[in-house]
Chain A
């Protein structure tokens, strides 16, 4: 068997077999040599095998391992093996590799259908337990943050005001363009779709009611919360996660700083203050877009639009939407920060937890929204 640079041949010589290795037994040729050496067999137990290295020009750990492995495989079958003509340069290498013999592999487990099915069921159970534990952990974190918040509110000097303002700027002010644009477009789309359907009943004017109720009660705040979860919730996780990777969180603790107080509270309070404002701004931009579309496509002039809007919405409609915003904000901020603290010391876990934090916070936001719907219908607004 010959490869480009390295090779061997094996033939009987007197009462023994001789394996003559030749050429450059380096890692680059190892793949070819490996396949050829594995095919060797057919020496009866009790015979002798001499491995002759006289023709070997160069040897590295991979080559040495292949020779040793072959020798051991035959030895295990009762063949008496020996090395000869080992150049003095190669002897320490062979010794070193022999010392570092990798332990043999455990035999691969054969997996039948039943085992795979059982494994699958076990995996479902594992995931469920994991999710439940994560939920408990998250609730614990909410509690910890609440306690820290109450303690800080009693002594407001402890609050990091500079950090709070920075967070409000980052999560609120810099979100204005994207929130405004998306809300405007959603208003346009709803007005257009609503008008299209309502025109069949000659009730185009009720497009305004659809806009007013739909946007103020639900869409404005929900849309804003989802944008903020994607924008700021993920940023919280990545920031805190990167600090965790750098051991900055541990450093903070040793310096007597409470990471919850320093990192979580400014983000939490900042978001709770800005999200209602962002939602109100989104409401306004959606109605503006809807109004513009009503004027252009339906010929409802702005004064008529405003009058109809006044009739459509009650005094509570706006507040029904905005009241939800602080709860959404608290959820997004805490889920985002919590995921950041879960990061282990690897780059991959930062990415995984950032994804998880966004998915979790959007999921929870929609659950809370549903709970609010039930609550509002019970109290009758």
Chain B
């Protein structure tokens, strides 16, 4: 779905990625972790074309991102959905209007159908129907994230980019969000690229984990990474929080 080869990114004179490789397989959920400021969000933004890399090749859904013209890029953009860190809902539009934006912009649809699909998406992400009439400022953080996810899913994308979907949510809301993404992935057949810091969601929904260390990605399943001797990876997964999250998983498996 996504293939990145030899990516080098430089922001403000600082090299964030140096000869980075990444492959995202169809139908999987890939979690990207890394220290603060290591360039996880920058990687996401580079893949979706918001940041120009210095060198390397990026292929998304079989298209070469760096050689696309505007028309082809717009067509490609409608095949993926992005949930930004703070949801990035348009604050002057109601939630329903926010979800309808991509549908309105890209497709010719009769207003009743537009309305039905908007409400369907709201229900899909678990928001009550009356949320549609509210404005982003009136919503809690968790509801904003759900509304942002509904907007990202508006065009039924094959590929979903999530930037810290559970950051700032309480554990119950974060758990519900994880379950939501897992359900949607099963029913909609989504491929998910997820930047996260949440060890619990890594364990709960990610098939593979990519660790951004030393400007490269080390990709593997949780079991493989636990065996990796790199000190940062060991500190990340074997630290007190990592151990607690892993213990919770084992407990679940036993219970």
- Given contacts A35-B110, A69-B116, A102-B123, are A347 and B187 in contact (CB under 8 A)? no
Contacts A26-B156, A27-B155, A61-B120 given; does A92 touch B186 at CB 8 Å: yes
Task: Tell which of A44-52, A78-86, A93-101, A266-274 binds the partner.
Answer: A93-101
A-B contact count (CB 8 A): 80
What is the predominant secondary structure among interface residues of chain A facing chain B? helix
Given contacts A102-B116, A103-B129, A105-B115, contact A30 B187 (CB under 8 A): no
Does A89 interact with chain B (Cβ within 8 Å)? yes
User: Is the Cβ of A61 less than 8 Å from the Cβ of B156?
Assistant: yes
Establish whether residues A62 and B156, one from each chain, have CB atoms under 8 Å apart when the complex forms.
yes
B135 proximity list for chain A (CB < 8 A): 346
Whether, in the assembled complex, A60 has its beta carbon less than 8 Å from a beta carbon of chain B, the answer is: yes
Please, could you name 17 A-B residue pairs with CB atoms under 8 Å apart, sorted by A? Answer: A27-B103, A30-B113, A31-B108, A61-B117, A62-B117, A62-B120, A65-B116, A93-B188, A95-B187, A96-B124, A96-B187, A99-B123, A100-B120, A101-B120, A105-B112, A346-B92, A346-B136
Interface membership of B179, Cβ < 8 A: no
Write the chain B residue with the least CB distance to A66: B113
Q: B-contacting residues of A (Cβ < 8 Å)?
A: 26-28, 30-31, 34-35, 60-62, 65, 69, 89, 92-93, 95-97, 99-103, 105, 344-348
Chain B residues with Cβ below 8 Å from A102 are: 116, 119-120, 122-123, 129
Report Cα–Cα, A323/B107, bound state, in Å.
62
Is B51 in contact with chain A by the CB < 8 A criterion?
no
- Residues in A with CB closer than 8 Å to B115 are 105
Residues of chain A within 8 A of B183, CB atoms compared: 96
**When the two chains form their complex, are residues A27 and B107 in contact, meaning their CB atoms are under 8 A apart?**
yes
**10 closest residue pairs by CB, A with B:** A100-B123, A102-B119, A346-B91, A348-B92, A60-B156, A96-B187, A345-B137, A92-B187, A34-B113, A31-B109
At the interface, yes or no: B189 with Cβ under 8 Å from chain A? Answer: yes
A345 to chain B, nearest CB (A): 4
Which residues of chain B (142-185) have a CB below 8 Å from chain A?
Answer: 153-156, 183-184
Q: How far is the CB of B129 from the nearest CB of chain A, in Å?
A: 5
Interface of B is mostly: helix
**B82 CB → nearest A CB, Å:** 17
The residues in B between 37 and 93 inclusive whose CB is less than 8 angstroms from any CB of A are 91-92
Inter-chain CA distance A358–B183, complex, in Å, is 51
The answer to whether B188 and A60 have CB atoms under 8 Å apart is: yes
The answer on a CB contact under 8 Å between B124 and A100 is yes
> B121 on the interface (CB 8 Å rule)?
yes
Q: Which residues of A contact B113 (CB under 8 A)?
A: 30-31, 34
What is the distance, in angstroms, from B122's C-beta to the closest C-beta of chain A? Answer: 8
Shortest Cβ distance from B132 into A: residue: A102
**B186 CB contacts on chain A under 8 angstroms:** 92
Which residues of A lie under 8 Å from residue B156 when comparing CB positions?
A: 26-27, 60-62
Given the complex, which residues of B lie within 8 Å of A65, measured CB to CB?
116-117, 120
A235 to B188, CA, bound (A): 48
Q: For A99, list chain B residues within 8 Å (CB).
A: 123
